[in-house]
Amino acid sequence: MQPVFVAGVGMTRIGRRSEPLPALMAEAAHAALAEAGLEAPEAIVVATMNPEEFVGDGNFASNVATHMGFAHVPALRIETATSSGAAAVYTGFAQIAAGLRRTVLVVGGEKMTHLATPKVSEIIGRSIDPYERTYGVTMPALAGLVSRVLMARQGVSAREIAQVAVKNHANGARNPLAHFQHSVTVEEVLESRMVADPLRLLHCCPISDGAAAVVLSAERATVRVAGVGHGADTLAIRHRRELTSFAATRAAAREAYAMAGFGPERIDLAEVHDAFAPFELMSLEDLGLVPPGKAGRATLDGDTALDGRLPINPSGGLKARGHPLAGTGVAQIVECVLQLTGRALTRQVPAATHALAHSIGGLATNNWVTLLERA
């Protein structure tokens, strides 16, 4: 396999944006290409979850490529629900690793704040098992069902879950591109309105617009993609063998660590998919970053805070940095690269050499783990 390096990264501010989606993607892509010193990549991979319904346009790889003046650069679109960004990075990685391309621009993004929340929820809900959807099941409902078992059977407490949101907001306050840049307290989280019992508003990530991009290259650069793993699980939650652990994460992590040739003990920081606060706790254990049953304690003890021994979601995570759906998987990798190249400003994790990005697709049907190391 040809080694794959990250030659450039770029990202828009995440939040309510008025620019159309191609413009958001172009903003992120231009920044990444400029850093890579490239006018044009050999290929483009675009990640966007549902532009047909969010913005009324399809064939989006061609749409964005043409918009940017790359109509003659081969471009394709990748979709694995909410982990599409990570899947797109993998696709670009594979093209270079296989020796098919020398440079690939990967750009992910979404535009949805212009729609009413119930409509956005409905569109995101297309990722859910069709039968379960006929019972009104939404992403928050699935997360609520999982969280109830996590608390009742695994003993995870409301304070441990709330602390995830508090920590991520504190980190987001140090990220100029984050959707939310204010802090929240445990009390505010626990008193916020109920969404899907036991999950409250401040446990759930926002609806965001935005885009992020990376340029991958066969040419040596500071950061190398050390390993990528992809795991899958049943679409229907009623077919799952267990509810309080995501088999798709465990499979993705195993594959990524095996490819990279190192394990979780080498990781200095991780961007973890906290679409709902309890998912960060579950994922820390599924990724082998924390021993089973210890994620809540580690969070309360400050181990995963910015100044802790294993900072998790230094960007603010999905909760505070925001969740522009297909943009998120790429945004996580942008953060990892910024951290590994000393450009993370006031949220810099000192002397970081190994980073992990973890992305969940749907309700953990299609998960990715990407490992990056300072070469």
Partner 1 sequence: MIETIAASRCPRCDIVVAPPATYCPHHPVAMTPATLPGLGEVVSFTTLHTPPTGFRSPLHIAIVELRGGGRFVCHGADTRGLKIGARVAIEAIDNVYYFSHLGAMERARLFWRRTGHAGDRVNAIARSLAKRVWRSRTVNRGE
- Which residues contact partner 1 (rule: CB under 8 A)? 117-118, 121-122, 125, 131-133, 135-138, 140-141, 144-146, 148-149, 152-153, 193-199, 234, 236-239, 243
- Please say which residue, 137 or 357, places its beta carbon nearer to partner 1: 137
H/E stretch holding 75: strand 75-78
Minimal distance in Å, beta carbon 198 to partner 1? 8
- Please say which residue, 72 or 193, places its beta carbon nearer to partner 1: 193
- Please say which residue, 20 or 198, places its beta carbon nearer to partner 1: 198
- Please say which residue, 196 or 333, places its beta carbon nearer to partner 1: 196
- Please say which residue, 1 or 149, places its beta carbon nearer to partner 1: 149
- Please say which residue, 78 or 141, places its beta carbon nearer to partner 1: 141
H/E stretch holding 283: helix 277-286
Minimal distance in Å, beta carbon 121 to partner 1? 7
Nearest to 220 by CA among 372, 1, 6: 6
Q: Do residues 362 and 237 make contact, with C-beta atoms less than 8 angstroms apart? A: no
Minimal distance in Å, beta carbon 263 to partner 1? 28
* Amino acid identity at 373: E
* Apex 332 CA angle, 115 and 278, nearest 5: 75
Minimal distance in Å, beta carbon 185 to partner 1? 22
- Please say which residue, 205 or 306, places its beta carbon nearer to partner 1: 205
Euclidean distance between CA atoms 327 and 84, whole angstroms: 8
Minimal distance in Å, beta carbon 242 to partner 1? 11
Nearest to 240 by CA among 156, 149, 324, 347: 149
The Cβ of residue 238 has, within 10 Å, a number of other Cβ atoms equal to 10
103-110 and 223-232 strand pairing: unpaired
Q: 180-189, long-range: CB within 8 Å, 24+ apart, which pairs? A: 180/206, 180/316, 180/319, 180/320, 180/322, 181/320, 186/159, 186/162, 189/162, 189/165, 189/277
